[in-house]
Chains A and B, each alone.
Chain A
Amino acid sequence: MMNNSAQLPIVAISVRVYQLLLVAYPTQFRQEYSSQMMQVFQDACLRAVRQNGTNGMLKLWALTILDLIQSVISEYMQKDAQMKQQMKQQMKPEDIQRAGWAFILGAMSFVFGLFLAIIEYSNGSWSLFALLSLVFVSLPLLVFGVLGLRNRYGEKAGRFGKNILLIGAILGPVTSITGFFVMPVEPLWFVIYAGPAVLFLCLTLFGVAALYTKPMPHGNGLPVMAGLSYPAIIIFYLISVIAGDSSSSSMPDVIYIILTTIQGIALLALGYILKADVPEEKILIA
């Protein structure tokens, strides 16, 4: 490929030395462009020698060394910036949009499941559909939604807000999975329902942080509204059990329904904001 350089030893040596210097570039850049860069450098060498002899080569080398230093620094800075960008935002914009949809679908499934559970519980029975809807359908969807929320607004919400969402996304499913195995044990049957409560509690705490840091373009009060009701219901139920009054008469069903409706609307709104407020990917031409 580089036959001409063999005709002029100074060019052949220069190209060989330049080839060695290319090791300074990041590997990916070198793999993509080193052969083209060597070809260009060889052509520049031949032209410099023909026009100005050894002086031309010296001038070319001076320019090339400066160019090498400058461009190596630039490539590593670009690589570093890309890595930081990837670390900051591990989800692609389309995944964040999907997370918004997951929030919306999770909210619908959650509200449906909770309404069903309230109706069945008032009738003194138990619904498998409610359990499926609340835990096995809505929880995975809401976890994905929460992770999207964390990716999109976690940095702006601050370290506490970002970390509490991750804790919720891990502890929520872990609690429900644990609850699945301890379900036959009579006092612990409700633990499976506590998974969403843990997730929502963490969402509420994120919401408290969001009230101060305002990471979202609007509706920064929504995470608190979206997270507060269900943990409150579960805690109220636990207190009732401990107090020896586990009957639903301690809180009217209508209160449950109002709380659940508020939570459902807030979750839907949160999903809509996440779906609509997708970051744009931009390349800096520097």
Chain B
Amino acid sequence: MNDTLQNPNELPPLTPAVFNILLALADGEKHGYGIMLEVEANTRGQVLMGPGTLYGSIKRMLQAGLIEESDERLDPEADDPRRRAYYRLTGLGRSTLRLEAERLASQVQLARAKNILATDFLGGPS
């Protein structure tokens, strides 16, 4: 199936689930439960992802070429033989994550310029 997108600019703004999964995989490959824990930790428990949302998003991200299944274990200690699949970012996934993070950062800057955010939020004005 040739559904892979080649240009991250072609993507619409990512859903919170997709963005959080990409962010969870930014520092290395993880299995499904590892992604779920990482998302929960990254969002301080504000995003609780169930298995349905997690694997529905993973399916679409695989189709779009943002992530891929990983056969190799970069960190053998992190390997869990019970897990059937580990996932990692592709080049496209990393570019897409960076673009989305930049988009969100510009939104935060705009909110700060309109005095919606406190000046010391996220390190204060640039």
Which chain A residues have a beta carbon within 8 Å of chain B's beta carbons?
Answer: 1, 25, 29, 32-33, 35-41, 43-44, 63-64, 66-68, 70-72, 74-75, 78, 281-286
Contacts and interface: CB of A to CB of B under 8 A. Distances in A.
A72 B52 contact: yes
A41 B55 CA distance: 12
B66 A285 contact: yes
- B: contact size bracket: 20 to 34
A71 B36 contact: no
B60 A37 contact: no
A54 B51 CA distance: 20
Top 8 A-B residue pairs of the complex, sorted by shortest distance between their CB atoms? A67-B50, A71-B52, A37-B51, A33-B55, A43-B33, A283-B64, A40-B51, A40-B32
B60 A286 contact: yes
Interface in B2-60: 2-3, 5, 10-12, 14-15, 18, 32-33, 36, 48-56, 58-60
21 contacts: A1-B82, A29-B59, A33-B55, A36-B83, A36-B85, A37-B55, A39-B32, A39-B33, A39-B82, A40-B36, A40-B54, A44-B33, A44-B51, A63-B50, A68-B52, A70-B53, A71-B52, A283-B5, A285-B11, A285-B15, A285-B66
A25 B59 CA distance: 13
Contacts of B10: 282
A70 B48 CA distance: 13
Given A68-B50, A283-B64, A36 B32 contact: yes
Nearest to A47: B37
B52 A63 contact: no
